[in-house]
Structures are given as structure tokens and as C-alpha cells.
Amino acid sequence: MSTPGTTTLRRFRTAAWLGWQIEANWVDPFTFVVYSVLRPLATALILAVMYSAVAGVATSAHAFIGFYVANAFHEYVTRILVGMGWVVVEEREEYETLKYIYASPVGIFIYLWGRSTVKFAQATLSMVLILAMGWVVMGLRWDWGMVRWVPLVLSFALGLVAVVYFGFLVAGWALVLPRAAISVNEGVAVGLYLLCGVIFPIDLLPRALQALALALPFTWWYEALRRFMLGRGASAALGRFSDLQLVLALALSTVLLSCISVWGYHALERRARRQGKLDQATLF
Amino acid sequence: MRTALEPTPIPGAFALNLRATWARMYVRVVGSLREPAWIMSDAVFPAFSMASFVLLYRALGAPASFEALAVLGGILSTYWINVLWGMGAQLYWEKQSGQLQLYFVAPCSRLAILTGMAVGGVFMTTTRAVISIAVGFGLLGVHVQAFDALQLLLVFIVTMAALYALGMTLASLFLLYGREAWHVCNALMEPVFFLSGLYFPIRALGAFGAVAAGLVPLGLGVDAMRQVLLGPAAQGLLPIATEVAILAGLAVVFFFLARAALEFLESLSKREGRLTQRWQ
């Protein structure tokens, strides 16, 4: 007899397997991997050439490695968070199967979470390749002795939780949007790239946006990853916080965002049902 | 005055194609104004990327000319996105929505339709680019010195001609594609931004950049426009006149390539039964 835990695990595994089939069955695995890493590697190359173009004349070029590292970890946001919004678009618009997902016992959160595992794998591969390219090709080195593994792993895990839960909210948003959900999904990742100071310190943002940035766990996440991996952060404003405060702020904002996301998904889903948008295809 | 029973006069080939061009352009322009979420995402999100790159230069303490360089690159990125998704992948969209066959039963030239799509695309993207201009030169406070507006307009027009002619070629190639169209378009985003030096002087790529600029007109176009706006601070690759001449040549080459590719791939996809095949 199956317990609720094993049932959930089985549903999760099925959704993950389906995600892999949908994402990858259009081509052989090698080509799939090549296509998967082209975009992130090109973005890393853009950053690297921007850096090399100004390295001789810029006054704070030494800060670049922190931005480069955060850009590598932003892959998780780009892939998982956007990917969850995409699941809704694909299921509703392209395959017209969203209604069957709702009619099945899988549970939408388990389904979305399972489908995002292939994105997690892609993001991990991209992140490792970006960091390896920085280390080997661009000479962006860090001292492994300075890495504080426990807070780094803890921060990394908290950030992933925030990404997955925010992904639920993005998926909920996609439910009420027409076909424009395609580019709105992508826009969320780009917005977070700007707002959370991935490639620059948030001190450069206007004050109102800084306040918004501090409410988002990703801002704390990138700063924690930089601090625990390289030994220093990027922002003077966040530099005032101790390591413990930084991790606590990340944990607190993650919990808050997760609660808002679950509540937000259900609210948006109710709205979509009322407006008849849950299965309304507007693209093809 | 013509009565309702009198047949509509059949226009000449030129007039017919002109009307087809106008009709496709009309759809693109008017249709693009009907979806507020789409307008917002097309206009605002590219400005976010551009702002991030400008602030990276600022964080590194780079000279101000690099910020202007990134702003212009960000503005032109919106055109490349439109070329890829609005031109290259358009026939794939049409196939998915079951409308592609209508293009092929229409009496006009397919190139007339693609031209309308291109002209409409340039217009639509220009209206969206206003946001990037406002963010770059207004909100972020990036400045450029006085420049020759007419020269800038000329370079812009030639760049767009080359870029959208490439888009027409891509649209022809994508006739055969199914889901690969998505992935190919995705794969041609950031890699082309990199090869075109959108956020840094293309000269920084060395000989590799020169070769890349010869393949994708975006790099030469952005380089020429930067030279008009920034002068020597743009660190241009070639003199403006040379770049404009190459761009004009590329526009002609891509246009004829699009025509040949369209004829060949239309016949091939009909033979293989893939012209109207959805969800493949």
C-alpha cells in the first residue's frame, strides 16, 4: 500500500520524466545540450568582453568577478522560474492539455515542480560551464580556501526554494494572461536581473527600487553567494549586515515570498477559472 | 460608379503585391497595438537588460562613452529580437495557427507578404524602442554629443534593410521547421548579441569580430551608428561609408537569397508534406 509520501514522489517523478521528454525529444541529447548552453555561455562571453574592453581604463575592474559569479547562478532564475511560466503556456496554448492536468490527481504544484527538474539540470550544467569558462579561459580565479561551504550551501538551498516558489507565482500569472505570457515570463527574469543587482551593486539603483530589491530574496541570495564563495560581497548597503544577518534576511524573505506565491497562485487560478481563461488558447 | 454585380478589376502584378505588402504591414502595426501586455513586454523588458549592462559599466568605473555604447546596443537588440521572432519564426507561427496555407493560395508574391511583415516590424519595433531611448538617455542619464541626424537616419535605414532582408531569408529557412524553430531562435539571441558587439566595441573581438560582422549585419549597423553618435570614442571597426556600403550589399544579397530559399524550400516542404504539418 502506498503512503502519501511515496505517492507524491511517484507523481513528482512522472512529471519530471514528462518534462524531460517534452524538452528534449526534438533532437538527440548532444545537440540538446549544445542548444541549452549556447545562450548562457554567450551572455558570460558578453560580460567577459565588456570587462576586458574596459579593464585598462576602469577604476573598479576588480569587482567584476563577483558580478560574473552571480550571473552564473542567475541561470537558476532564468531557467526554473521562467520555465514554470512556460509550462502553463505550453500546456494551455500549444498542447491544449492543461485541463487534463487539472483533471488528474497529480496536483498542480507537484506537477510544476516535477516539470522544473529538467530546468534545474540545465541550469546546473550552464552554471558549472560558465564558472569553468571564467576560471580556465578568462582567468577569473578565486581562493578555494576562502570558500565557506556551510553558509554557501545553506544560502544556495534557500535561494533555490525561493526560485521554485516564485516560479509558482509566475505560473499563476501566466494562467490569467493571454499569449503575451510568453514574453512576460522572460521579462520577469530580466527584471530580476536588473532589480536584484546580479551584475552591479544595488547601491546604483534609485532609492525606491533599492527598497523593492531588499524585499526580494534573490538580492540577498546573490550577495550571500558572492560573500561565502569569494570572501566579499558587491554592495556597500548589504555589506553592513553580518553573515548571520545576511542568511537570516535571505531565509525570512524566502519564507515570505513562498507564502505570497502559494496564496498568489491560488488567487490567480480562481480568477482564471472565473474568467474562463484556465483553458483558453489564444496562440495557435 | 461600379455596381455590386460588376467584378472587381484585377490589379496589375505590381499593384497587387503592393496591396499585399500594405495588408500584411497593416496587420502587424494595428495588431501590435491591441494587446497591452504584449506592448509592455516588448517595450519595457529589453530596456531592463540594457540598463543592467549600463550599470555594470558604471559599477566597474568605465568611461561614460561605454555607457552610451551599451544604450545603443540595447536599443538595436529589440530589432534583432523582432527579426528573429517576428520574421524568422513567423511562418512557423502561421503554420501552428493553421494559416500558412492561406499564404500559398493567395495570388500575390510571398516576398510581398514578407516585405510587409518587415516594414510593419520596423515600425512596430521603433515605437517600442522609444522606451529604451527614454530609459537610456533619460532615466540613466547617458549623454551623447551633437551628431548628424540625417547621417544617423541613413545608416539606420540601410541597417534595417540588411537586417530584415536577413529576417526574410530566415523565414524562408524556417518553413521546414517544426519545434526546432523555437530552439534555433533561442540559440540565435545572445550568441548574436555577442558576435555583433552589442554591448562593447566590436573591435574588442579582434579579427573574430570582423568575420562575424561580415555574416550578421547587426554588428556593422551598430558599429556605424555608434560612430555617428560617439565619433572616435566608438572605437569603430571600419569607416562609416565602408560599413554602409557593405550593409547595402548585404541587404541585396539577403533579399535575393530569401527569394531563392523561399522557392526551393516551398517546393521541398510541399513534396515532403511538411508545409501544413502542425505540432511536429
3-class state of residue A282 by DSSP: coil
Nearest by CB to B193, from A46, A95, A187: name it: A46
Q: Give tens-digit pLDDT for A57-87.
A: 777 777 899 999 999 999 999 999 989 999 9
- Give the residue among B146, B156, B129, B153 at the shortest CA–CA distance from B229: B146
Whether residues B190 and A184 touch (CB distance < 8 A) is answered with no
Give yes or no for a contact between B45 and A190, defined as CB atoms under 8 angstroms apart: yes
Query: What ipTM was estimated for this complex?
Result: 0.91
Residue B127 C-alpha cell reads as: 515605437
Inter-chain CB proximity A61 and B60 less than 8 Å: yes
- In A, minimum Cα distance to B51 occurs at A194
Calculate the alpha carbon distances from A154 to A49, A127, A151, A161 in Å.
32, 18, 5, 11
Comparison of pLDDT for B131 and A248, the residue scoring more: A248
Interface contact B48-A200, CB threshold 8 A: no
pLDDT tens sequence across A9-26: 999 999 999 999 888 877
The pLDDT score that the predictor gives to residue B193 is 93
Structure letter (DSSP) for residue B8: P
Q: Which residues on chain A are in Cβ contact (under 8 Å) with B92?
A: none
pLDDT at residue B85, as a whole number? 87
Does A57 sit within 8 Å of B35, measured CB to CB?
no
Beta strands in chain B (DSSP E): none
Q: Which of A26, A53, A187 sits opposite B200 (nearest CB)?
A: A53
State chain A's mean pLDDT as an integer. Answer: 91
Distance from CA of A4 to the nearest CA of B (A): 36
Nearest to A35 by CA among A131, A122, A137: A122
Higher per-residue confidence, B123 vs B13: B123
Mean pLDDT over B92-121 rounds to 86
Best interface-test mutation with A: which of B44, B50, B52 has the largest number of A CBs within 10 A?
A: B52
CB A204 to CB B58 under 8 A?
A: yes
Q: Which residues of A touch B46 (CB under 8 A)?
A: 190
The answer to whether the Cβ–Cβ distance between B37 and A52 falls below 8 Å is: no
> What are the phi and psi torsion angles at A233 (to 5°)?
-90, -165
Interchain pair A190, B48: CB under 8 A: yes
Nearest-CA distance from B212 to chain A in Å?
14
At B1 the pLDDT is 55
Query: Using CA atoms, how far apart are residues B99 and B79, in angstroms rounded to an integer?
Result: 25
Q: Looking at chain A, which residue has its C-alpha nearest residue B53? A: A199
The confidence score (pLDDT) of residue A4 equals 78
Q: What's the pLDDT band for A281 if we cut at 50, 70, 90? A: confident
Locate B213 and state its grid cell.
Answer: 560582422
- pLDDT, tens only, B194-206: 999 999 999 888 8
For the cut 90, the answer to whether the pLDDT of residue B251 exceeds it is yes
pLDDT above 60: residue B4:
no
Query: According to the per-residue pLDDT averaged within each range, which of A174-178, A266-270, B34-38, B135-139 is highest?
Result: A266-270
Nearest to A54 among B38, B60, B97 (CB): B60
Work out the pLDDT band at B13, boundaries 50, 70, 90.
confident
Enumerate residues 6+ apart whose C-beta is below 8 A from B134.
Answer: none
Report pLDDT digits (tens) over A76-120: 999 999 899 999 988 888 888 899 999 999 999 999 999 999 999
pLDDT in tens, B18-71: 999 999 999 888 887 777 777 777 788 889 999 999 999 999 999 999 999 999
Q: Let me know: does A227 contact A156? Beta carbons within 8 Å.
A: no
Counted across chains A and B, CB pairs separated by less than 8 A come out at 139
Average pLDDT estimate for A271-277: 91
Residue A183, chain B, CB below 8 Å: the answer is yes
Whole-model pTM?
0.89
Quote the Cα angle for B35-B40-B45, to 5°: 140
Smallest Cβ–Cβ distance between A178 and the set B35, B45, B96 belongs to B35
Contact A60 B60 (CB under 8 A): yes
pLDDT for position B6: 63
Of B274, B28, B278, the closest CA to residue B175 belongs to B274
Cβ contacts of B61 on chain A, cutoff 8 Å:
58-61
Whole-number pLDDT of residue A203: 95
The verdict on A202 touching B (C-beta cutoff 8 Å) is no
The three cell numbers of residue B102 are 492561406
Domain chopping of chain B, boundaries = 35-271
Identify the pLDDT of residue B7: 59
Nearest to A35 among B59, B187, B278 (CB): B187
Using the beta-carbon criterion (under 8 Å), do B45 and A53 form an inter-chain contact? no
**How many Å lie between the alpha carbon of B1 and the closest alpha carbon of chain A?**
42
- Residues in chain B with CB shorter than 8 Å from the CB of A27 are 180, 183
Specify whether the CB–CB gap between B277 and B178 falls below 8 A.
yes
The reported pLDDT for the residue numbered A23 is: 83
A222 CB near a chain B CB, below 8 Å?
A: no
> A-chain residues within 8 Å CB-CB of B48?
187, 190-191, 193-194
Contacts of B63 in chain A (CB under 8 A): 54, 57
Residue of A36, A89, A194 to mutate, testing the B interface (most B Cβ within 10 Å of its Cβ): A194
